[in-house]
Every structure is written in structure tokens, then in C-alpha cells.
């Protein structure tokens, strides 16, 4: 096919650039034989680096499609923008689908992608300014390997940016069948881009697997986020039948294939990102996708409203939906319209790797509090300067185990010798199902408050199976009354598996026994482990309509027990042994987000009916700690002598009447300091430890 007039010189120049670039990926005539368009408003990536960085931190979302962040990550995204953080959303796919922007429209792949891009710009403008028509500065940048991407900055709030790579779904008729998934798996060597009708990036171009990873790594180094958000790299296995329709799931998984591939590309790119530097640190949070429809909804009314507004704007719905963008392609995604919240999956915002305890907050043998969290692919530790001082040093960041990033959740316990033992999930992406590796890793302080010792792999309860290894969940750990150290994980069957270490750590493999499947389930990700009355180990997990329980038997084995009388539980539970010797389990309530508490009637006895805590609506982790009896906890509907911390619907953290401003990305963690004060901690968008102390009554 002849090149259109005026493109010959551009074609020649770009081919020269492609030949000079390492791992060249630029092909100016893609498999669709589209006409070549030159990029416009080209700038260097280095020109886009924010200096100085926003004090509130910078968040980068890496997703597949233009609405993934709105469906699956909000209201977190809007909360970060409202808090003054920088926001960079990277869209890997063009999302052209069938090329029709709603019923009755004609097929036009380039125009439909442009409309979706316009919808993303409108949604972010609405979140940042309240005006969907707020203008954008639209530019393009050349990425490693030579492909060009569009980078847009909101003129009124330039810390808000969008990056469009526009990789396409190759047509079968063109002799090539490929998409993000096949590029990741290695089944497709090169994947072309689509050129939206109003594109500043031009093209088309192509990406190889390595060049797409390099491009994401370069974007991370350019924008230096302190918080990275991805989609789910390991969606659950899902049976599809009449009661569980497939919808947009791929194969036997509970998510869209492009979502999973985008997440895997993200986690692989993170290997090359050690953090923002300059004394700042980064966290990573993964979000569930279409999985949300398989479990009860976890958002309350206020959070749902915050999620709905920008989604309606993206869909070119709601008030002020005229042709404000000035584009013939349309100003949003009419497939979504103002009905985006009608489906089951938008009604939850679910963290793939929820915290079981943290940032882990614990008082050491010298009386000082220590806090731990996953930072910069390693783990960071903060230490109180003196017992109960309220002054901290750190974080001191210890390297991770290598071989792949750590999932954001960290479990930790102290053994009787006072040392902290850390447990984390290591994610090692690889091309194709056979290349995937997931394992549990552990490291121990050499002495209380001292250096962290070497990392050791505890493996995976699914010793084999290309897909089963990816079902490994984040850990929960506890020391039993006999001194043995237990670690529990949600396994690939959605049940619970465990390994147990001898009390003195002696024996083959550092005293660790083999993986044992405990049965039970299915449960959601996020277990709670606690030593109950008499040091008896118990584990709790949230099922579809009950809180499930596993308990240590007289012979030392942990086995499934009767479920608790929970009321519509959702999300990971928390469990705490109160000062009166009774266990209390807390969880959010589906549909309202309120926290419900279920307490033993007597130590080791039966369980009470759920009690709703007032003013407790929120989503995400809940944490609890024994407090002084008679200090007011009982007046909140809780058993006397407990303090509870939770994330609110606005992203802040509340403990009783005290509020820690948000938003936060990890936590809350909770402990009692040497002066008897309840201390609540969380990790902010800026990667810093935030905390508050109660005032004793």
C-alpha cells in the first residue's frame, strides 16, 4: 500500500530512528495497514518529571483500559487527588472492543478509542476540578524502543496526568491474533497500536514484550511515584455456570485477560523501580477486578456515591453531558453511559493483598514500639527513640529477597525471645503460565531492634501446577501458647494452608514442618490469626455468608470449627484477645460498610450475636488491640477493654473519637505503647508512617 502524500520523509526518518534504537519496536504500517500519522507536540520524558514532587506524594495507576481505575480503584483515586497528591494513570490498551460507541452507532475503532480517552480525561477533570470540560495540555513522548505515547496534563491541576499507550487487539482477518495477554505469554512477538482519531502520539507503532516492560519502567523512573496501583496479577480460579455467568472473565479465571496481563506487565516493570529516592519511599497496591461480582459488595452509600460520579462522567452521562470536548468521536464511553454502577463489580473496591496487621506495630522487650511495612521492594522499619516517647527514627529499609517484588501486605510476630519474624508473599512474574512463581518468604531480626537476617523461602502449598501456584495468598502469623510459630495462607483452593515451626526453631529446614492443607473455605483473601484463651491458636476468614473458623485441637493440629454467627460479612476480618480473656472478631458488613463485632460470651465459650459499631462505615482492613477496661470501649458497642481502628469511607483512619487524616495505602496497625496509650499507625500516599495516640481518660 502506498504511503499517503506528505508522509514519505516522516517514514524514512522514523525508520532511521528505529534502526538506531535498542530493541526497536516502531513499525509505521501496522497489521491493519493504517495510514501513518506523525506524532505532535513531542517532548522529552525528562521534561515531564515533576520538580518539586507534590508533598502529598505521587500515585501511579497502571491499568489496561480507560475505565479500569474508575471501576476497580476508586474511590481511592479521587481521594488521592483531593488530598493534593500527584496522579498519573497509565492505560496500556486502546480498548477498542467492537468499535461501536453505544447501541446503533457505526463501527469505528479509532473513534471509539478516542471517545474512551475523552471520557477518561473528563472523569479526571471532574475529580480534580469539578468541571469535566476543564482543558488538558496534550503532548507525546517517545518511549524506550521508539514507540510514542500520548501524555496529557490537566491545565488547571498539572499534577494530574494521563498516559495512553493504545496497544490494540489484533484482527484475526489481518493474519495476526494478539493482545496484551499473548504479548505477555510470548505467543505474540509484536503488538501494534491503534491511532485514535485525535491522537497526539501518531503511529501506528508496535511493542515487544521487553519494550513494553522497559517503557513502564521508564515511566516509573520519570514520575517517581510514592504509591503504585495495579490490577490483579493472580485472579481467582472461577467455575462458570448458570449461577456464575462468565461475563468478561477469561478461561477459568475471575477477571478479564487484559486486566491480568496489565498487572503482570506492571509487576515485572516494578523489578526495575527501586523507589523514588531523595529520602522518599514507594508502596504497591493491587486491586481485584471482575472478581468483585463473585462476593458481597463492600462499599457503603457514601463510597458508592464517590465512585459513581466520575464513572458517570466517563460514560458521557449525568448533568452537563453535551459535546463539551469538541471531538467528533464523542466525549465519553456510551457503552457505560450513566449505568456504570448498575453491574455487580463496581460496588466493591477490593485489595488483592490486604493487610492482616499493618503496618505491623508491636512493643519490643525494651518497651519501644516498632513499625514494619513493605517499602521499595524491601521492608522498612521505624523505631521509637525511647519507650512511649512518640518520637521515631527510620525508616531503615532492608533489602527484599530478590527474585521478584513483595506483595504489599506484611505479616509479623514476636517470638518469646523478643525478635520480630516477618512474612511476605513474593511475586515472580514470567512469560506464560509455566513461568509464574509465587512463594512465601520470611526473615527474622538478628536481635530485637537489630539488623534483619537473610530471607528464606517457605515455598508454596501448591508444589506443582502451572496455575495453582498463583493461588497463594498473603500470610497471617501467630505464636501459640506452646511457643510454636504458625503461618497461614489462603491457598489456591480458597481454603487455608499452614506451616508450623518448632518453639526453638531447631530441626530440619529451620524447624519448619511441611505445608498442611486445613480444608474449609472458601474464604476471601485476608486471614486473621490469634492466640486465644490458654494460647490456643485460632484462624478466621470471611466466607460468602459467615465468618469461618479454624481452631487448634488438644493434639496441636489446627482444624475447621463451627462458623461464627456473622451478619453479611465482607472483607478480611480482625481478631483480638481482650483484656478479659474473651476473643472478639470484627468485620465489615456487606452493603453498609459498617463494622460488626462478634465476641465470645466467656473465654473459650460460645459466641454472641453481631453488634454494629456506630459511625464505623468504611472498607479495607480493621485492627483491634486490648485497651484498659472501663475506658469507654464498651460504650461504643464493643466488649469492654478493646480499641478498634478502621479506614473510613473517605480514606482516613478512625480509632474511637480520634481521626488520622488520610488517605492511606496501608493500615491501620494498632498497639499500646509503654505509657498505656493506644497508638494507631498507617502508611500514607507519600510512603511515610503516620500515627496518632489516644489521650488516656
Beta bridge partners of residue 549, listed in sequence order: 540, 561
The predicted model scores a pTM of 0.93
Given the candidates 3.30.230.10, 3.40.50.10320, 3.90.1150.10, 3.40.50.300, the CATH classification of the domain at 8-347 is 3.40.50.10320
Geometric angle at alpha carbon 388, from 661 and 357, rounded to 5°: 55
Q: Are 404 and 393 in contact (CB under 8 A)?
A: no
Classify domain 360-693 by CATH architecture. 6 Propeller (2.120)
The DSSP output letter for 553 is -
Pick from 82, 87, 86: nearest CA to 54: 86
pLDDT at 467: 72
Residue listed under C-alpha cell 510470548 = 186
In whole angstroms, give the CA distance from residue 109 to residue 94: 9
- Cα of 393 vs its chain's centroid, Å: 27
Geometric angle at alpha carbon 601, from 600 and 607, rounded to 5°: 50
In whole angstroms, give the CA distance from residue 314 to residue 118: 8
User: How many beta carbons lie within 10 A of that of residue 51, not counting itself?
Assistant: 5
Burial of 380 (0-12, 13-18, 19+ CB in 10 A): buried
Sign of CA dihedral 273, 276, 279, 282: negative
CA atoms within 13 A on the CB side of 622: 33
In whole angstroms, give the CA distance from residue 663 to residue 686: 10
Task: Find out whether the peptide bond into 668 is cis, omega within 30 degrees of 0.
Answer: yes
In whole angstroms, give the CA distance from residue 301 to residue 592: 7
Q: What are the residue ranges in the chain where pLDDT is below 70?
A: 1-35, 172-176, 357-358, 433, 464-466, 629-638, 695-697
pLDDT at 322: 78
Element of type H or E holding 307: helix 301-314
In whole angstroms, give the CA distance from residue 75 to residue 300: 11
Q: Are 420 and 444 in contact (CB under 8 A)?
A: yes
In whole angstroms, give the CA distance from residue 388 to residue 673: 5
Q: How confident is the model over 670-692, as pLDDT tens digits?
A: 999 999 999 999 999 999 999 99
The DSSP output letter for 635 is G
Domain with CATH 2.120.10.10 in the chain: 360-693
pLDDT at 237: 86
Q: Are 413 and 484 in contact (CB under 8 A)?
A: no
Residues 6+ apart with CB under 8 A from 245: none
Kindly tell me the number of DSSP H helices and DSSP E strands found in the chain.
8, 36
Domain with CATH 3.40.50.10320 in the chain: 8-347
In whole angstroms, give the CA distance from residue 691 to residue 697: 19
pLDDT at 682: 96
Amino acid at each position: 500500500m502506498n504511503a499517503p502524500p506528505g508522509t514519505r520523509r516522516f517514514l524514512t526518518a522514523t525508520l532511521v530512528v528505529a534502526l538506531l534504537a535498542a530493541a526497536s519496536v516502531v513499525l509505521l504500517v501496522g497489521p491493519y495497514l493504517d495510514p501513518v500519522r506523525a506524532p505532535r507536540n513531542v517532548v522529552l520524558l525528562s521534561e515531564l518529571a515533576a520538580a518539586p514532587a507534590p508533598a502529598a506524594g505521587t500515585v501511579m495507576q497502571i491499568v489496561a483500559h480507560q475505565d479500569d481505575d474508575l471501576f476497580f480503584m476508586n474511590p481511592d483515586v479521587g481521594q488521592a487527588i483531593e488530598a493534593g497528591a500527584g496522579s498519573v494513570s497509565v492505560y496500556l490498551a486502546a480498548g477498542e472492543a467492537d468499535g461501536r460507541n453505544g447501541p446503533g452507532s457505526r463501527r469505528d475503532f479509532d473513534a471509539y478509542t478516542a471517545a474512551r480517552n475523552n471520557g477518561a480525561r473528563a472523569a479526571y477533570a471532574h475529580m480534580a476540578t469539578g468541571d469535566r470540560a476543564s482543558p488538558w495540555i496534550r503532548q507525546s513522548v517517545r518511549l524506550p524502543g521508539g514507540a510514542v505515547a500520548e501524555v496529557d496534563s490537566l491545565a488547571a491541576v498539572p499534577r494530574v496526568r494521563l498516559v495512553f499507550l493504545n496497544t490494540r487487539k489484533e484482527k484475526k482477518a489481518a493474519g495476526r491474533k494478539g493482545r496484551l495477554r499473548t504479548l505477555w505469554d510470548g505467543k505474540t512477538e509484536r503488538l501494534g497500536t491503534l491511532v485514535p482519531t485525535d491522537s497526539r502520539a501518531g503511529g501506528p507503532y508496535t511493542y515487544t514484550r521487553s519494550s513494553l516492560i522497559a517503557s513502564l519502567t521508564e515511566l516509573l523512573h520519570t514520575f517517581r511515584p510514592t504509591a503504585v496501583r495495579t490490577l490483579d496479577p493472580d485472579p481467582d480460579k472461577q467455575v462458570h455456570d448458570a449461577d456464575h455467568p462468565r461475563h468478561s472473565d477469561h478461561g477459568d479465571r475471575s477477571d478479564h485477560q487484559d486486566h491480568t496481563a496489565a498487572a503482570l506487565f506492571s509487576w515485572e516493570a516494578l523489578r526495575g523501580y527501586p523507589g523514588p529516592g531523595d529520602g522518599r519511599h514507594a508502596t504497591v497496591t493491587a486491586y481485584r477486578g471482575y472478581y468483585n461480582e463473585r462476593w458481597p459488595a463492600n462499599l457503603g452509600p457514601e463510597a458508592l456515591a464517590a465512585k459513581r460520579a466520575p464513572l458517570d462522567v466517563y460514560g458521557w452521562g449525568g448533568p452537563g453531558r453535551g459535546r463539551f470536548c469538541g471531538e467528533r468521536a464523542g466525549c465519553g464511553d456510551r457503552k457505560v453511559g450513566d449505568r456504570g454502577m448498575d453491574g455487580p463489580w463496581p460496588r466493591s473496591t477490593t485489595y488483592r493483598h490486604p493487610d492482616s496487621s499493618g503496618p505491623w506495630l508491636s512493643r519490643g522487650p525494651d518497651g519501644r514500639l516498632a513499625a514494619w511495612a513493605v517499602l521499595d521492594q524491601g521492608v522498612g522499619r521505624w523505631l521509637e527513640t525511647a519507650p512511649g516517647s512518640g518520637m521515631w527514627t527510620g525508616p531503615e529499609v532492608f533489602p527484599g529477597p530478590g527474585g521478584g517484588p513483595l506483595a504489599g501486605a506484611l505479616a509479623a510476630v514476636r517470638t518469646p525471645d523478643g525478635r520480630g519474624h516477618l512474612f511476605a508473599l513474593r511475586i515472580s512474574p514470567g512469560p506464560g503460565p509455566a513461568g509464574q512463581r509465587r512463594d512465601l518468604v520470611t526473615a527474622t531480626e538478628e536481635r530485637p531492634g537489630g539488623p534483619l537476617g537473610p530471607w528464606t523461602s517457605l515455598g508454596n502449598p501448591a508444589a506443582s501446577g502451572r496455575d495453582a501456584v498463583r493461588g497463594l495468598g498473603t500470610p497471617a502469623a501467630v505464636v501459640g501458647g506452646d511457643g510454636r510459630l504458625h503461618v497461614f495462607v489462603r491457598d489456591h483452593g480458597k481454603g487455608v494452608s499452614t506451616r508450623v515451626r518448632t518453639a526453638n526453631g531447631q530441626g530440619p529446614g529451620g524447624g519448619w514442618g511441611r505445608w498442611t492443607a486445613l480444608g474449609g473455605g472458601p474464604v476471601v483473601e485476608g486471614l486473621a490469626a490469634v492466640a486465644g484463651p490458654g494460647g490456643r491458636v485460632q484462624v478466621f476468614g470471611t466466607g460468602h455468608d459467615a465468618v469461618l473458623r479454624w481452631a487448634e485441637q488438644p493434639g496441636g493440629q489446627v482444624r475447621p470449627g463451627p462458623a461464627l454467627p456473622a451478619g453479611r460479612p465482607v472483607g478480611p476480618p480482625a481478631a483480638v484477645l481482650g483484656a478479659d480473656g474473651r476473643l472478639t472478631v470484627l468485620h465489615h458488613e456487606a452493603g453498609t460498610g459498617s463494622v460488626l463485632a462478634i465476641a465470645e460470651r466467656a473465654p473459650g465459650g460460645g459466641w454472641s450475636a453481631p453488634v454494629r459499631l456506630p459511625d464505623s462505615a468504611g472498607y479495607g482492613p480493621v485492627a483491634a488491640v486490648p485497651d484498659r477496661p472501663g475506658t469507654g470501649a464498651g460504650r461504643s458497642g464493643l466488649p469492654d477493654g478493646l480499641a478498634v481502628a478502621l479506614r473510613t469511607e473517605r480514606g482516613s483512619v478512625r480509632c474511637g473519637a480520634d481521626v488520622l487524616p488520610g488517605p492511606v495505602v496501608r493500615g491501620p496497625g494498632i498497639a499500646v505503647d509503654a505509657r498505656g496509650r493506644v497508638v494507631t499507625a498507617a502508611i500514607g500516599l507519600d510512603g511515610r508512617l503516620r500515627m496518632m495516640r489516644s489521650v488516656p481518660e
